[in-house]
Chains A and B, each alone.
Chain A
Amino acid sequence: MHYFSQLFNYEHPWSHVVIGMWHKYPNPHCTHVVTIDTLDRTVDPRTGVIRTERLMGCKQKAPIWIVKLFGGSENAFVREISFINPATQEATITSVNLSLSQFATCYENIRYSPAPDGHTAFIQTAEIQARMSMWRSTADRLENWLVQRFEHNAQLGKMAFTDVLRSMWEAKEQHAHSCS
């Protein structure tokens, strides 16, 4: 089992970050995310919480040994569930791989919550684990490859979202700043 976590602040208010969430893709930093579909969405008429289930299709080259051993192709699918709670100002996003899921799970949680100075705290954790029904060495290699790819994608995701938020909001926030 491998753990991954990162924590930093986006220099935008929570509502801007949460609106920006739906505009992150397509993104030149994350060309591996090629399709996004909403499978389910509810707006709770009592609490105002929005729950969304999405399916992301990714295309990323896998090493030949992965393809040979696990029959994987370069197309991978991820299930993503998000909750946006305006009352508590919390947004959580959970992602789980669907592809290769009989061999390994990559379970990711993200949370956006307000931070001081009108910023937004981002916390990302992930657990990557090969299932037990494999030779140990193969499981280790698979886990290591998944971890490497996850860390790489996490860095790309940060650059991608930073750019999106900047282009969506920078002018507006500067204007608000100069008026206050």
Chain B
Amino acid sequence: MAHSLAEECTPMKREYDACFNAWFEGYLEPAVAATPETRRQYSTAKAAEYERNCGKIWAQYKECVQKAVKNKGLDVLLDQARAENPLKEPPSIPSPDKAS
């Protein structure tokens, strides 16, 4: 796994990444297979499971990395980028089948 931008955050980053990946690998295929009827229940249960499994290490890692972002002066650039393009919704990209 890659390093964090701050060496002191790297152990927390690795623990968090491993937690997310383990959760995600169990999450994805049933999520794809879910029907419109079962999706909401599955998503709610899995979102809660993610929070339970990874919430604690995420909070620690996030605090560490936010501090590092600030110390390196990247918070200003990030705030500008977020203001310019919040990306709260997925961008619309022409799909290959529709584009042709």
Which residues of A are at the interface with B, using a C-beta cutoff of 8 A? Answer: 7, 14-15, 18-19, 22-23, 25-26, 33-39, 41, 43-48, 50-51, 53, 55, 57, 77, 79, 81, 83-87, 89-90, 92, 94, 96, 98-99, 101, 109, 111, 113, 115, 121, 123, 125
B27 → A minimal CB distance (Å) = 8
List residues of chain A with CB within 8 A of the CB of B58.
41
List residues of chain B with CB within 8 A of the CB of A77.
74, 77
List residues of chain B with CB within 8 A of the CB of A26.
1-2
Given A39-B78, A96-B81, A98-B78, residue A48 in contact with residue B31 (CB < 8 A):
yes
B47 → A minimal CB distance (Å) = 4
List residues of chain B with CB within 8 A of the CB of A35.
2-5
A92 CA to B3 CA in the complex, in Å?
A: 24
**B90 with A90: CB separation less than 8 A:** yes
Which residues of B are at the interface with A, using a C-beta cutoff of 8 A? Answer: 1-5, 9, 13, 16-17, 20-21, 24-25, 28-29, 31-32, 34, 36, 39-40, 42-44, 46-48, 50, 58, 61-62, 65-66, 68-69, 74, 77-78, 80-82, 85, 87-91, 93-96, 99
Name the residue of chain A whose CB is nearest to the CB of B4: A37
**B24 with A7: CB separation less than 8 A:** no
**A98 with B81: CB separation less than 8 A:** yes
**B80 with A101: CB separation less than 8 A:** yes
Closest 10 pairs (CB-CB, A-B): A86-B31, A48-B43, A45-B47, A83-B90, A98-B77, A81-B87, A43-B47, A35-B5, A36-B2, A45-B44
List residues of chain A with CB within 8 A of the CB of B95.
111, 113, 121, 123
**B74 with A22: CB separation less than 8 A:** no
List residues of chain B with CB within 8 A of the CB of A37.
4-5, 9, 13, 65, 68-69
**A48 with B42: CB separation less than 8 A:** yes
**A48 with B5: CB separation less than 8 A:** no
Residue A22 contacts which of B9, B24, B90 (CB distance < 8 angstroms)?
B24
**B96 with A85: CB separation less than 8 A:** no
A37 CA to B61 CA in the complex, in Å?
A: 9
A15 CA to B3 CA in the complex, in Å?
A: 25
**B93 with A15: CB separation less than 8 A:** no
B73 → A minimal CB distance (Å) = 10
A94 → B minimal CB distance (Å) = 5
